[in-house]
Structures are given as C-alpha cells and as structure tokens.
Structure 1
C-alpha cells in the first residue's frame, strides 16, 4: 500500500478593502488581510487546517499587524467589518525591528531600521 501525506504551511489572501491613514508612515493606504495556517494533506488534498493566524499588511509601507482572531474569522466568513486600531498588534521580528520599512514624509528616505527620526533630514517618522 502506498500512502502520500504531508504537512505544509499555507497562506490565504482575503478580498477585504478598508482605506486607512497609516499610523507608521502617515500616508493613505489599504489594509490587506491574510491568514496563515498549517495543513495536513492526504494525496495532495488538504484535509485538516490548524494553527490559523490572521494578519493585516498596509499597502503604503508594508507594516504587518496580527489581527484579532474573532475579526479575522468574520472577514473569512465574508462579513462586513471595520478593522480598528485596537484589533491590531504590530508584528516585530526576532531582531526587534518591525517588518516592512519606514519612509520619511518630507524627503522620501526609506529604511528598514527602527529609527524614530529620519537619518537624512531629521523629521520624526
């Protein structure tokens, strides 16, 4: 008997549109909502998903937030919801820097470092 099974990680993007003013870069942008998960597949057919996490990424500067699971489930069901700042937790990578980058509103300088002020012109990020 030959049995093909595997465990992999997956990502699902949702068609969710909400215009926002980014709290990081100060520009207008849109929330892109997605879910990551782990899946068990038998004969290349996904059968069981677990370890689901919902995330929001801004279209302006790419900052990633973890989304409240209940709001994420509502978006996955196709419900009309509004994502508020208290539903979001900013994701920090292992080195302590935020994922994505910062862009200065005044001079346009871009950096992936966690500066409070622009190294080129001194404007607060």
Structure 2
C-alpha cells in the first residue's frame, strides 16, 4: 500500500477592504495588507485540515509587518466588516523608509529615528519622541 500525504505550510492573502490609515511606524499614509499563514495536512494532494493559523498585516507604505490578533483575523476570514486598530497589532518587523526622502521642493531631507520605537520624523527640535514620548537625547 502506498501512502501519499504530508504536512506543509501555506499563506493566503485575505480580502480586507479597510480605509487608508496613518502608519504608526513611518507616519505615512498606507493600507493594511492582511495575510493568513497556516499548516495543513494533505492526503493524495487534497488538503484535509488546517491548524496553527496566524494572521499578519503588512503596511503598504513602508513594509512594516505586524501580527494581528487571532479574533480579528478570524473575523476577516469570515467576511465580517471589522476595523483593525493599533491595539490589535504587535510589531514583528519594522518598515524600511528611505531616510533621505525628498520634500515638497525636491530637496533631500534627513529623517530622525527614535531609538526606542523606530518612529521616523523630520523635526530636529523635538527632545522627546512624538510617538512614544521617550527622550531622544543620547544617554552618556
């Protein structure tokens, strides 16, 4: 008797129609791209059941990746109209924003980055991070 089956992993992009949000990491406007990852067992190349479902959100602006809580992710899979809020997200990977982006006059501008939370901003006058509130002065 030949047994053809196995365990594998999969990823699926979920249909989330949220509005444009301001990214907590880079401060730009972006959209949430929601994904589900899972493990599955297949028998004769037919997937039978899935487990270890995890939900992730990738920002379209900077590429930051967040893990989405499982209740909100499952509601999106069921097609419910839910709004993803910041409290539902846990940062997994910080986004990559070009620190030398051009301003409205075409001149390059250097962004400062908070060493505590990774937030990027272009105002040199701040002594405290506008996102997390921690001191921006280097500790000596």
* Shorter-chain TM-score range: 0.7 to 0.9
SS of the residue corresponding to residue 58 of structure 2 reads strand
1:11 matched to 2:4: no
In structure 1, stretches of 5+ residues that fail to align are 93-97, 110-119
- TM-score normalised by the chain length of structure 2: 0.71
**Which has the larger share of strand?**
1
Counterparts of residues 15-94 of structure 1 (less than 5 Å): 15-18=15-18, 19-92=20-93
Partner Cα separation in structure 2 for residue 78 and residue 88 of structure 1? 19
Q: Counterpart of 2:96? A: 101
Partner Cα separation in structure 2 for residue 15 and residue 122 of structure 1? 34
Tell me the number of residue pairs that the alignment of Structure 1 and Structure 2 aligns: 107
- TM-score normalised by the chain length of structure 1: 0.79
Partner Cα separation in structure 2 for residue 3 and residue 39 of structure 1? 17
SS of the residue corresponding to residue 112 of structure 2 reads coil
SS of the residue corresponding to residue 40 of structure 1 reads strand
Spell out, residue by residue over 1:19-65, the C-alpha distance to the aligned partner (whole angstroms, 9 max, x if none): 21111111111000110000010001100111110111111111000
Q: CA RMSD in A?
A: 1.7
Partner Cα separation in structure 1 for residue 49 and residue 111 of structure 2? 51
Partner Cα separation in structure 1 for residue 22 and residue 111 of structure 2? 22
Runs of at least 4 residues off by over 2 Å: 120-124
Partner Cα separation in structure 1 for residue 13 and residue 3 of structure 2? 30
